[in-house]
Copies of this chain bind each other. A is one copy, B any other.
Amino acid sequence: MENPYVIGIDIGGTNSVFGVVDARGTILHKGSIKTGTHEDVNEYIALLAAALKEIINKAGGPGNIKGIGVGAPNGNYFNGCIEFAPNLPWKGKVPLAQLISDAVYGIPVTLTNDANAAAIGEMTYGAARGLKDFIEITLGTGVGSGIVIGGNLVYGHDGFAGELGHVIIRRDGRVCGCGRNGCLEAYASATGVARTAREILVNRTEPSLLRELEPEKITSKDVYDAAVKGDKIALEIFEFTGNILGEALADFVAFSSPEAIILFGGLMKAGDLILNPVRRSMEENMLKVFQGKTKILVSQLKESDAAVLGASALGWEAKES
């Protein structure tokens, strides 16, 4: 069998993580380099290429690699560029796919944003195997999404479709990192959960384990830890978050009527604490014709590997060389 492997690269603001992946979604060889310290993109590419060549050799050489997939913030599938990504050190429009391909044996490189990569990974190796119509929602520091319709990822006319974290769920609500108000991301992300905690603690007087912490340092993990101990305020924070997320999901269903919505990311560690209110709220807020039809599933991608797996799945799209 030729080209039995692909490579996935997940470019984050701090680290770039990569691995050689087989058709079953097993990561055979891994590596990582720093992202943020390389302001000169050519310096970054040189280091990345050296590290990639090392794992490619371990995998038997470039003849064994079908393609390279890259997940990166603001990555544009159509032109292979990263465009004005606020958390990356490079300014303007960087033709990353081309640069990587040129530096790594001319292997074809495909690039998209991290949430789209997660959706493709889910379809290839995870909870969306066999699904043609689903939405992947990534609930981490921010809220991202990858929308699949008829088995194809939706890129839109410009390559940037699927920014569901920035749908307005509370008109004139919380300020979002994007500069607007009331985005879903300002509520349903890990940072949104922490904001909800601080708001409730300030506005209310009931006792809570969370009061033992410095307000500015509360994380969604702290809220989870308090909730599993039965802390009422902490439970209420997940109720509130799940409720808003469910409202948003009901609206998303009115758009593409997916068979499933798959939730991915750090917030999913809260399990039923968040899933129960999400499911209830989505059904309560749904237009009648859609009620009871759309499943809420949890990602089956192991979180530590998911970003690399998701990106690698794009590698299978590469044309036979």
Q: Which of B158, B162, B178 contacts A255 (CB 8 A)?
A: B162
Q: Flag if B287 contacts A163 (CB, 8 Å).
A: yes
Q: Name the B residues within 8 Å of A178 (CB-CB).
A: 287-288
Query: Given A255-B147, A255-B255, A289-B163, do A157 and B171 touch, yes or no (CB 8 Å)?
Result: no
Smallest beta-carbon distance A246→chain B, Å: 12
Chain A contact residues (Cβ within 8 angstroms of B): what range? 35 or more
Q: Name the B residues within 8 Å of A247 (CB-CB).
A: 168, 171
Q: Flag if B257 contacts A158 (CB, 8 Å).
A: yes
Q: Which of A96-104, A148-156, A205-213, A233-241 contacts B (4 or more CB under 8 A)?
A: A148-156
Q: Flag if A150 contacts B152 (CB, 8 Å).
A: yes
Q: Which of B170, B179, B257 contacts A160 (CB 8 A)?
A: B257
> Taking the complex as formed, is A167 at the interface, i.e. its CB lies under 8 A from any CB of chain B?
yes
Q: Name the B residues within 8 Å of A180 (CB-CB).
A: 285, 287
Smallest beta-carbon distance A165→chain B, Å: 9
Q: Name the B residues within 8 Å of A164 (CB-CB).
A: 254-255
Complex: how many Å from CA A163 to CA B258?
13
Nearest residue (CB) in B for A290 is B160
Q: Flag if B158 contacts A293 (CB, 8 Å).
A: yes
Query: Given A166-B287, A171-B171, A288-B178, do A133 and B157 touch, yes or no (CB 8 Å)?
Result: yes
Complex: how many Å from CA A180 to CA B171?
18
Q: Which of B157, B159, B288 contacts A179 (CB 8 A)?
A: B288
> Taking the complex as formed, is A51 at the interface, i.e. its CB lies under 8 A from any CB of chain B?
no
Q: Flag if A254 contacts B171 (CB, 8 Å).
A: no
Q: Flag if A171 contacts B168 (CB, 8 Å).
A: no
Smallest beta-carbon distance A87→chain B, Å: 14
Nearest residue (CB) in B for A250 is B168
> Taking the complex as formed, is A251 at the interface, i.e. its CB lies under 8 A from any CB of chain B?
yes
> Taking the complex as formed, is A37 at the interface, i.e. its CB lies under 8 A from any CB of chain B?
no
Q: Name the B residues within 8 Å of A251 (CB-CB).
A: 167-168
Pairs across A and B, CB under 8 Å, 29 listed: A132-B157, A133-B156, A149-B154, A150-B154, A154-B255, A155-B257, A157-B259, A157-B293, A158-B257, A159-B257, A160-B289, A161-B256, A162-B255, A162-B256, A162-B257, A163-B254, A163-B287, A163-B290, A164-B254, A167-B255, A168-B251, A170-B171, A171-B247, A178-B287, A179-B288, A180-B285, A180-B287, A252-B255, A255-B256
A contact residues vs B (CB 8 Å cutoff): 74, 83-84, 132-133, 147, 149-150, 152, 154-164, 166-168, 170-171, 178-180, 247, 250-252, 254-259, 285, 287-290, 293
Which 10 residue pairs are nearest across A and B when measured between Cβ atoms?
A156-B257, A161-B257, A157-B259, A133-B157, A163-B254, A166-B287, A167-B251, A161-B256, A160-B289, A255-B255
